[in-house]
């Protein structure tokens, strides 16, 4: 359902409900229609019910369901429900009823009436949120399934069997050791690890963050084989936190590193790439900073999008409402920053 259609339907439903109540009810609790502008009392009550409905349906339930924190969800719902009813009853008892009606009831009677009516609204908001969450989850599952099928089809169409490539690499590795070329052998071994990770580990929905970091290290080491000894290129990788206790979607971080190397390394000038990964409570922080280098024709290379649209789309599917992605240029540096909320 498109956003504007959903908004229109909500406006119509609340408008019709307000019109029907206003024109079909003579009294609500201590309010009397002949005691003043009865519409204001109904409008205020409906406003409070809207706060309960929309805070439940669009903020509280989606947020805590996504984080899978059911205890906090229940506590937050109850707290919000109680606070809103206390506030509404306070306004009714101390201002609205006294100003528009000559009737007099206790504060608890208003609280009881408001709680009964708003509890029904709370159930509506909860049902709406759960149904919408289920529909969105099914849609994401379908998208992921279709992408998986597309990937599998592309893989099946590949003319080269990966096992054949691994066997060739193993043979090259053995020959390089026989010819006393340990650096070449190490590079071949790292390349084989890179391929093995991309072929097999990516079949898993989540991998241990330590494996993803190891993949990044292998990628960097294989790339460094291309760098001459006199080239001023420095690549730093720093980790902070427990990398074994965290899982992440595979191949999610490597595009940042590939981009930094592609656009941040120039053998003719000093090139520095800093990679920082930190796990803290329920969050993962990943940051890559690289020097902005000039292209061959002395023009700044500003094509550092590194498939940013594709990356955003993947993050939206894998981490809906649980990530922030920022890229910026600052003092001759290109900075990419990704924050993820863990399950």
Does 303 have pLDDT greater than 50?
Answer: no
> What does the block give as tokens for 40?
């204001």
Is position 18 within any domain?
A: yes
Low-confidence winner among 10-14, 103-107, 261-265 (lowest mean pLDDT):
103-107
Burial (0-12, 13-18, 19+ Cβ within 10 Å), 310: exposed
Residue 96 and residue 31 share a domain = yes
Q: Are residues 219 and 104 in the same domain?
A: no
**How high is the pLDDT of residue 103?**
57
Considering 111, 130, 153, which residue would you say is the last residue of a domain?
Answer: 153
Within-domain flag for 166: no
Please tell me whether residues 335 and 209 are part of one structural domain. Answer: yes
- Count of domains in the chain? 2
CA angle, 108 as apex, 105 and 110 as ends, to 5°?
65
Chain centroid to Cα 6, Å, comes to 23
Range of the domain at 11: 3-153
Query: Between residues 191 and 157, which one has the greater pLDDT?
Result: 191
Is residue 183 assigned to a domain?
Answer: no
Same domain, 221 and 137: no
**Residue 52 and residue 119: Cα distance in Å, rounded?**
9
φ, ψ (nearest 5 deg) of residue 165: -65, -40
Q: What is the pLDDT of residue 231?
A: 73
pLDDT tens across 84-140, in order?
888 888 887 777 765 455 556 677 777 887 888 889 888 988 998 898 888 888 888
Q: Are residues 224 and 148 in the same domain?
A: no
In a domain, 174, yes or no: no
Write down the pLDDT at residue 33: 47
**Which pLDDT belongs to residue 335?**
92
Verify that 124 and 35 share a domain, yes or no.
Answer: yes
Residue 195 lies in a domain: no
Question: Is the same domain home to 9 and 149?
Answer: yes
pLDDT digits (tens, 9 = 90+) for 197-233: 887 777 778 889 999 999 999 888 888 877 766 677 8
Of residues 152 and 273, more confidence is placed in: 273
Range 267-285 average pLDDT = 88
Euclidean distance between the first and the last CA atom of the chain, given in angstroms as a whole number: 28
Out of 153, 170, 196, pick the residue that ends a domain.
153
pLDDT higher than threshold 90 for residue 288 = yes
For residue 198, tell me if it sits in a domain. no
Q: So what's the pLDDT on residue 134?
A: 87
Given a cut of 80, whether residue 184 has pLDDT beyond it is no
* Confidence band, pLDDT 50/70/90 cuts, at residue 294: low
Q: Verify that 97 and 220 share a domain, yes or no.
A: no
Q: Are 77 and 44 in contact (CB under 8 A)?
A: no
Position 176 in a domain: no
- Distance, CA of 69 to CA of 49 (rounded, Å): 25
pTM, whole model, 2 decimals? 0.54
27 and 143 part of one domain: yes
Q: Identify the CA nearest to 215 among candidates 234, 243, 241.
A: 243
Residues 38 and 140 in one domain: yes
pLDDT at 150 over 80: no
Domain check: are 20 and 142 in the same one?
yes
Domain membership flag for residue 171: no
Do 78 and 58 touch, CB atoms closer than 8 A?
no
Q: What's residue 302's pLDDT? A: 47
Instruction: Indicate if 11 and 115 belong to the same structural domain.
Output: yes
What's 254's domain CATH number? 3.30.565.10
- Is the CA virtual torsion 309, 315, 316, 317 positive or negative? positive
Q: Which of 113, 136, 153 is the last residue of a domain?
A: 153
Q: What is the pLDDT at residue 83?
A: 92
């Amino acid at each position: 359902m498109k956003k504007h259609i959903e908004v229109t339907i909500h406006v119509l439903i609340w408008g019709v409900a307000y019109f029907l109540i206003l024109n079909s009810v003579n009294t609500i609790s201590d309010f009397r229609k002949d005691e003043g502008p009865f519409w204001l009392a109904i409008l205020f009550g409906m406003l409070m019910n809207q706060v309960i409905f929309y805070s439940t349906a669009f903020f509280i339930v989606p947020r805590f369901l996504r984080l899978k924190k059911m205890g906090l969800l229940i506590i937050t719902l109850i707290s919000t429900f109680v606070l809103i009813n206390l506030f509404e009853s306070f306004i009714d008892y101390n201002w609205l009823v006294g100003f528009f009606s000559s009737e007099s009831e206790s504060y608890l009677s208003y609280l009881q009436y408001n709680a009964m009516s708003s509890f029904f609204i709370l159930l509506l908001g909860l049902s709406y949120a759960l149904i919408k969450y289920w529909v969105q989850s099914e849609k994401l599952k379908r998208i992921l399934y279709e992408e998986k099928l597309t990937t599998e089809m592309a893989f099946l169409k590949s003319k080269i069997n990966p096992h054949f490539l691994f066997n060739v690499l193993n043979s090259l590795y053995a020959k390089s050791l026989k010819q006393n070329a340990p650096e070449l052998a190490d590079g071949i071994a790292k390349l084989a690890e890179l391929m093995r990770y991309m072929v097999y580990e990516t079949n898993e929905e989540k991998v241990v963050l330590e494996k993803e970091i190891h993949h990044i290290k292998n990628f960097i080491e294989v790339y460094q084989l291309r760098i001459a000894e006199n080239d001023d290129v420095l690549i730093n990788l720093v980790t902070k936190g427990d990398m074994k206790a965290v899982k992440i979607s595979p191949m999610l971080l490597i595009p940042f590193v590939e981009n930094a190397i592609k656009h941040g390394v120039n053998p003719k000038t000093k090139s520095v790439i800093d990679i920082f990964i930190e796990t803290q409570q329920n969050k993962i922080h990943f940051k890559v900073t690289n020097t902005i280098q000039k292209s061959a024709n002395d023009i700044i290379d500003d094509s550092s999008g590194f498939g940013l649209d594709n990356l955003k789309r993947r993050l939206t599917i894998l981490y809906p409402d649980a990530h922030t992605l920022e890229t910026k240029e600052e003092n001759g540096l290109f900075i990419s920053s990704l924050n993820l909320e863990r399950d």
